[in-house]
Amino acid sequence: MAKPKYEGYCKGKPTYRVREKYEGTNIYVQNAKSLLTKTSGFISSYDFSLNPYRGCQYGCSYCYAAAFSPNSKMRQDWGNWVIIKENAQEVLEKELIRWYRKNPDRPPRIYMSTVTDPYQPIEGKERLTRSLLEVMREYPVILVIQTRSPLITQDIPQLQRIPHLRVNLTIPTGSEEVRKDFEPRSPTIKARLNAVKLIRESIDETKGFVPKLSITITPTLPTPVAEQEAFIKKLRIADRIVIQEFHASTRGSLVASTRPKALALKEKYSWWYDNEQQNYQQFKDKLMSLLPGIEIREGKAGFSYD
């Protein structure tokens, strides 16, 4: 079958036209054949990963997901296009019905998302992720939501209806300067911390289930020593903190540093990366000493639901 062609990234007649420009992003609409993808590797403790969108408006410099773009032009333009899986709600419902036919007593473990952010800006308009949470209310799942977006707070009532939920809010650094360099389009650190706080404070045990709350400092980017303590103290609002070293690779493998821009930035931050292991270890030691009673996990173990 011929590969689909996307307007703006192809020669000749496109298969998919730009539906609109949304905040500078080319938006396309497709129907998905399936929503639930079997997992392996880093998230192998889950049955499925779930990505409501393809592509991501945040376009973080270190994002490995760019490697899964439909073509090389779109890979190079990572962050400037998004494909909406328009029939996602319907497909998910069918897949969960099928799962429960085979496994009537076991809710599937789902990780949302691995190659997109389910609460990137377009979600504020499309409410696609929200529609999937509505399906999960009918067909229970064990769910982890991975996002860096405060938009998730708009779905607090929906989050409370999921009996087994962990929210992972990503904040890879305590430095705004570092954030702006590595992920200039993403929400500020303050906005993300406020989002975790708002979820924590708004959850009402009398109105539903209480989600677990993690802050994932992943990949762990530099935070200047002078800013570390103040940052770490703000993380007390989470139940779990996850850290993970930033492994550089130019081999296109599934590690969080496959984009050239991120590799160049590592040179700018040589004060951290020239001695990365030691800086990472010192940061980890500070987390342990300043956050007694809060679970600190590393790498794969940190991304598990339990």
CB-wise, 116 or 160, nearer to ligand SF4? 116
User: Are the beta carbons of 92 and 132 closer than 8 angstroms?
Assistant: yes
Which member of 63, 74, 165, 193 binds ligand SF4 (CB under 6 A)?
A: 63
Span of 59-67, 122-130, 243-251, 268-276 interacting with ligand SF4 by CB under 6 A: 59-67
User: Are the beta carbons of 229 and 181 closer than 8 angstroms?
Assistant: no
Cis bond leading into 219, ω under 30°? yes
Tokens of 140: 């229970």
Which member of 52, 59, 107, 174 binds ligand SF4 (CB under 6 A)?
A: 59
Crossing angle between the packed helical segments 128-138 and 88-102, to the nearest 10 degrees: 20
Closest approach, Cβ 200 to ligand SF4, in A, equals 22
Rg value, the chain, Cα: 19
Q: Please tell me the number of Cα atoms within 13 Å of 280 on its side-chain side.
A: 19
Q: Is residue 117 a contact point for ligand SF4 (CB under 6 A)?
A: yes
Closest approach, Cβ 193 to ligand SF4, in A, equals 17
Span of 16-24, 26-34, 56-64, 104-112 interacting with ligand SF4 by CB under 6 A: 56-64
Q: Is residue 171 a contact point for ligand SF4 (CB under 6 A)?
A: no
Helices (H), the chain: 72-76, 88-102, 123-126, 128-138, 156-159, 176-182, 189-202, 225-234, 260-268, 270-273, 276-290, 299-302
Q: Is residue 65 a contact point for ligand SF4 (CB under 6 A)?
A: yes
Span of 38-46, 53-61, 134-142, 197-205 interacting with ligand SF4 by CB under 6 A: 53-61
Q: Is residue 173 a contact point for ligand SF4 (CB under 6 A)?
A: no
Q: Is residue 118 a contact point for ligand SF4 (CB under 6 A)?
A: no
Which member of 116, 158, 214, 257 binds ligand SF4 (CB under 6 A)?
A: 116
71 phi and psi angles, rounded to 5 deg: -155, 170
Residue type, 73: K
Q: Is residue 130 a contact point for ligand SF4 (CB under 6 A)?
A: no
Q: Is residue 262 a contact point for ligand SF4 (CB under 6 A)?
A: no
16 phi and psi angles, rounded to 5 deg: -120, 125
CB-wise, 65 or 143, nearer to ligand SF4? 65
Contact set with ligand SF4 (CB under 6 A): 56, 58-60, 63, 65, 116-117, 148
